[in-house]
Amino acid sequence: MTLIDAATLAAQLAEPHPPTVLDVRWRLGGPPGRDAYRAGHVPGAVFVDLDAELCGPPGAGGRHPLPDPDALQRVLRAAGVRAGHPVVAYDDGDGQAASRLWWTLRWAGHDDVRVLDGGFAAWTAQDRPVTDEEVTPPAGDIEVRPGGLPVVDAAGAVALADAGVLLDARVAPRYRGETEPVDPVAGHVPGAVNLPVGELSGPDGRLKPVADLAAAFSAAGVDSDRPVGAYCGSGVTAARTVLALHAAGRTDAALYVGSWSNWVADPDRPVATGENT
């Protein structure tokens, strides 16, 4: 279960027991997503902050490391997330932040979660209702149980690149080491294969059809016989790749949460540049 469209979400919100809707609009470097939420959001949606609430403090573990389970549980309960009750996550429209929230909830043991395909842009494009009323939901009762989705660290990323397929979800110039706007070192994990996350969605931000996703993954060397995982700069963009892998049937796909920001924190780790090296 990965996606929901705007029409289906609107119908579910009109039902007696609607899903919990979480607004996780976020952009690297800002502006703050909470400002966009306050300006207008899906009725009933609760804002959660990707940087401050869904990830641990940045450091050697990366810019968006795994959150402390107890802290995450408090955040999710405050947002109204209940055990066994469906959750819908949305962002501005590219699906990256919402996919990281989807991944985090799945990792935390909450299976019934979907991403609004096309995000808030898809909602407003259909003239769906928008409100600026902030929501204080009844407290949820979710119990965070880490381990619902596979995670790899730097050593696991090396093993994936060796025995399976490690997908680098960043744009090609960053992968090749030609530019690095965020982290101190440019390049990629040796053996990783570049598949920019933008190639998995259409211009409207909606995920491509399953057949197109399967073809893109196959062209990158993904097959049913080898393990697969993904990384990016800090584990946000690559969560979108993992969601797409799930949609294409690879529910065993791992996320290197620390990603490149963790990899380059150790100067002894090798760095590759150029095409698929």
Task: Report the distance separating Cα 206 and Cα 225, nearest Å.
Answer: 28
Task: Report the distance separating Cα 151 and Cα 168, nearest Å.
Answer: 15
Task: Report the distance separating Cα 1 and Cα 111, nearest Å.
Answer: 8
Q: Residue 85 has which token pair? A: 């009750």
Sign of CA dihedral 123, 126, 131, 135: negative
- Is there a cis peptide before residue 31, judged by omega within 30 degrees of 0? yes
Q: How far are the Cα atoms of 38, 104, 236 from residue 197, in angstroms, in the given order?
A: 29, 18, 11
Residue partners of 140: CB distance under 8 A and separation at least 6: 20, 76, 77, 78, 79, 80, 81, 82, 83, 85
Of 55, 75, 89, 232, the catalytic one is: 232
- Cα 266 versus chain centre, distance: 24
* Known active-site residue 232: yes
Residues marked active site are found at 232
